[in-house]
Amino acid sequence: MIGNIKKMQTTLGDAAKDESVQYQLPIGEDLLPMNEHIGQTIKLSYKSEIHCVACGRKTNKSFGQGHCFPCFRSLASCDMCIMKPETCHYAEGTCREPEWGESHCFKPHFVYLANSSGIKVGITRGTQIPTRWMDQGAGQALPIFQVANRLQSGLLEMALKQHVSDRTDWRKMLKSDAEQQDLKAIRDELLEKCESEIMVLKHEQGEDAIQTIDEQVVDIKYPIVEYPEKIKSLNFDKQPDIEGTLMGIKGQYLILDVGVLNIRKFSGYNLQVDFM
Name the residue ranges covered by the structural domains of the chain. 2-72+224-275, 108-219
> CA–CA separation, 75 vs 268, rounded Å?
16
Average pLDDT (211-227) is 96
Is residue 206's pLDDT more than 90? no
pTM: 0.94
Question: What's the pLDDT at 29?
Answer: 94
Is residue 207's pLDDT more than 90? no
Residues 79 and 151: beta-carbon distance below 8 Å: no
* The one-letter amino acid at 275: F
Question: What's the pLDDT at 78?
Answer: 94
How far the first Cα of the chain sits from its last, in Å, is 13
Work out the pLDDT band at 28, boundaries 50, 70, 90. Answer: very high
- Residue 29 DSSP code: T
Of the candidates 210, 216, 151, 207, the one whose C-alpha atom is nearest the C-alpha of residue 187 is 216
Rg (CA), the chain: 20
Q: How many CA atoms lie within 13 A of 15 on its CB side?
A: 12
Exposure of 208 by Cβ count < 10 A (0-12 exposed, 13-18 middle, 19+ buried)?
exposed
Average pLDDT (1-7) is 96
Residues 52 and 67: beta-carbon distance below 8 Å: yes
